[in-house]
Amino acid sequence: MLRKKLAVTFGLIGILGGGLANAAGAAAAGAVAADPPLPPGGAAILTWTPEQQAWGYRHMEKLAPFRVIKRGTSVHPLPKAAAAIDVEFTAGGKTYNTESYMQAFRASGVLVIKDGKIVLERYGLGRSAKDRWTSFSVAKSVTSTLIGAALKDGKIKSLDDKVTQYIPELKGSAYDDVTVRQLITMTSGVKWNESYTDPNSDVAKVGLSILEPGVNPVVSYMRRLPREAAPGAKFVYKTGETDLAGILLSNAVGKPLAEYLSDKVWRPYGMEQDGIWVEDVAGHERGG
């Protein structure tokens, strides 16, 4: 429930998907609607139709392996304010309110909180207050936040530590002199293609197949990439580098990312539902 749990499902690029479920007729007949056929997996998520997105983004637990982010015994309340608001604004010569904005930009949820109380909460694309919704790259900020927790816990000594101290399989690659700080700020200098329309881009291929038995598939892929700039000299947005940051983090703390997130954020804050964190083909959560 967006109102209480602030929950997002920590997702990734490159997982299976499904079409839009048509439950109306089955529900009227008292039957359970069958899940729709799944489209091709892997990078096919980048080419889902709008209908597939609306169904698949809220049903990731049916479409890919995952770990559970366990909730605690108490729920942090987010009460409704005495007076609700609507929002109206003009952009590009058009005036929008909340409903027309959500329709025009295909938003599945809007939440506005003021002074700890909800003043606006709406849902779209067939989503209800109890549905999860995959977060995609919001997971990157969560991974970096957990690296901060690991620093405080002393599991990571410094952001200036070399990445290879925590992922030794990267020794001898373009990541040899890259620091943790440069990894989480995507300034490693390692060459990368983040194109979502190119099926041969790095982001479309990373972590989807076992390249070397016994080595995490993300690590195997990333350690083959060439260098294009000195570490710290150039920023390039790279989902794969936050995937690496997630592997670095779990190596440092000695537990899965979902468990560490539950310990540090999910249970202490009081999330209303369990979350899920989707895994790569080797069973490691995708930090990016």
Whether 6 and 274 have beta carbons less than 8 Å apart is answered as: no
For residue 112, with 0-12 CB atoms within 10 Å meaning exposed, 13-18 middle and 19 or more buried, which class applies? Answer: middle
Spatial distance between the Cα atoms of 245 and 240, rounded to a whole number of angstroms? 9
Spatial distance between the Cα atoms of 268 and 91, rounded to a whole number of angstroms? 40
What integer pLDDT is reported at residue 92 of this predicted model?
A: 93
Q: Rounded to the nearest 5°, which phi and psi values hold at 30?
A: 80, 15
Which position has the higher pLDDT, 284 or 63?
284
Q: Give me the sign of the Cα torsion angle 38, 40, 43, 47.
A: negative
Whether 65 and 282 have beta carbons less than 8 Å apart is answered as: no
Tell me the average pLDDT across 140-155: 98
pLDDT-based confidence at residue 8 (cuts at 50, 70, 90):
very low
Average pLDDT over the chain, rounded to an integer: 87
Tell me the average pLDDT across 1-14: 36
Worst-scoring range by mean pLDDT, 88-97, 203-212, 218-227?
Answer: 203-212
Tell me the average pLDDT across 259-282: 96
**Residue percentage of the chain with pLDDT more than 90:** 77
Tell me the average pLDDT across 130-151: 95
Q: What type of residue sits at position 234? A: K
What integer pLDDT is reported at residue 29 of this predicted model?
A: 37
What integer pLDDT is reported at residue 47 of this predicted model?
A: 87
Tell me the average pLDDT across 79-85: 96
